[in-house]
Amino acid sequence: MDVRFNVQTFGCQMNKHDSERVVGRLEGLGAQCVDSIAESDVVVFMTCCVREAADVRLIGQVNTMKSEPIREGSPFGKRIVAIGGCIGPRDGAKLFDELDHLDVVFGTNNLSSLPGLLEDAFVKGVRRAETLEESDSFPTELPTKREHSWAAWLPITIGCNNFCTYCIVPYVRGREKSRPMEDIAQEAQRYVNAGVKEITLLGQNVNSYGRDLYGKPRFADVLEVVAETGIERLRFATSHPKDLTDEVIAKFGTLESLMPALHLPVQSGSDAILKAMHRGYTTQHYLDLIGKVRQACPEIALSTDIIVGFPGETEEDFEGTYRIVDEVGYSQVFTFIYSKREGTPAAKMHDDTPREVIQARFDRLVDVVQKHAFEANQIELGRTVDVLVEGVSKRDSGLLSGKSPKNQTVHAPLPDGVDIADLAGKIVPVIVEEARTWYLRGTLASKVR
Contacting positions for ligand 5AD (CB under 6 A):
50-51, 166-167, 265, 267, 305, 307, 336, 338-339, 341
CA distances from 373 to 400, 439, 442 (A): 22, 10, 18
CA–CA separation, 283 vs 295, rounded Å?
Answer: 18
- Pick the closest to residue 230 from 272, 175, 260, 193 (CA basis): 193
**Least distance (Å) between residue 205 CB and ligand SF4:** 5
- Which CB, 82 or 164, lies closer to ligand 5AD? 164
Q: Does residue 164 bind ligand SF4 (CB under 6 A)?
A: yes
Pick what 324 binds: ligand 5AD, ligand SF4, none; C-beta below 5 to 8 Å, kind-dependent: none
Nearer to ligand SF4, 169 or 262 (CB): 169
Restricting to residues 144-163, name those near ligand SF4 by CB under 6 A: 160, 162-163
Closest to ligand 5AD by CB, 347 vs 420, is: 347
Q: Which is nearer to ligand 5AD, 339 or 409 (CB)?
A: 339
**What Å distances lie between residue 69 and 37, 125, 324, CA to CA?**
10, 19, 51
Q: Which is nearer to ligand 5AD, 112 or 353 (CB)?
A: 353
How many CA atoms lie within 13 Å of 184's alpha carbon, on the beta-carbon side?
Answer: 29
By CB under 6 A, the count of residues binding ligand SF4 is 10
239 binds ligand SF4 (CB under 6 A): no
| Position 353 contacts ligand SF4 (CB under 6 A) | no
Q: Which of 140, 174, 137, 134 is nearest to 156 (CA)?
A: 140
Q: Number of H helices and number of E strands within the chain? A: 14, 19
Residue nearer to ligand 5AD on the CB measure, 236 or 338: 338
- In the complex, minimum distance from the CB of residue 20 to ligand 5AD, in angstroms, rounded to a whole number: 19
Residues 315 and 277 sit within 8 Å (Cβ to Cβ): no
CA dihedral 429, 304, 111, 51 (to 10 degrees): -130
Report what 170 binds from ligand SF4, ligand 5AD, none; CB cut-off 5-8 Å by kind.
ligand SF4
**240 lies in the site for ligand SF4, by CB under 6 A:** yes
Q: Which partner from the list ligand 5AD, ligand SF4, none does 307 bind, CB cut-off 5 to 8 Å by kind?
A: ligand 5AD
Instruction: Using the Cα atoms of residue 421, residue 424, residue 427 and residue 433 in order, give the sign of their dihedral.
Output: positive
Give the residue with the Cβ less far from ligand 5AD, 147 or 351: 351
Q: Which is nearer to ligand 5AD, 166 or 318 (CB)?
A: 166
Residue 339 interface partner, choices ligand 5AD, ligand SF4, none, CB cut-off 5-8 Å depending on type: ligand 5AD
Identify the CA nearest to 49 among candidates 170, 133, 220, 189.
170
Selection from ligand 5AD, ligand SF4, none that 336 binds (CB < 5 to 8 A by kind) is: ligand 5AD
Instruction: Give the range of 71-79, 165-173, 377-385, 412-420 binding ligand SF4 by CB under 6 A.
Output: 165-173
Helix 246-254 / helix 219-228 crossing angle, nearest 10 deg: 20
User: Which residues does residue 152 pair with via DSSP β-bridges, in sequence order?
Assistant: 199
* Rg (alpha carbons) of the chain, rounded to whole number: 23
Q: Is 276 in the site for ligand SF4 (CB under 6 A)?
A: no
Phi/psi at 254 (nearest 5 deg)? -115, -25
C-alpha span between 9 and 16 (Å, rounded): 6
Are 400 and 434 a contacting pair, CB within 8 Å?
Answer: no
| Binding residue (CB under 6 A) for ligand SF4 from 169, 249, 328, 424 | 169
Could you tell me which residues come within 8 angstroms of residue 11 by beta carbon, excluding any fewer than 6 positions away? Answer: 46, 47, 48, 50, 54, 85, 86
Query: What pairing do the DSSP bridges indicate for beta strands 427-435 and 399-403?
Result: unpaired
Using rule CB under 6 A, residue 207 touches ligand SF4: no
155 binds, among ligand 5AD, ligand SF4, none (CB under 5 to 8 A by kind): none
- Least distance in angstroms from the C-beta of 309 to ligand 5AD: 8
When asked if residue 204 is in the footprint of ligand SF4 (CB under 6 A), the reply is yes
Does 170 participate in binding ligand SF4 (rule CB under 6 A)? Answer: yes
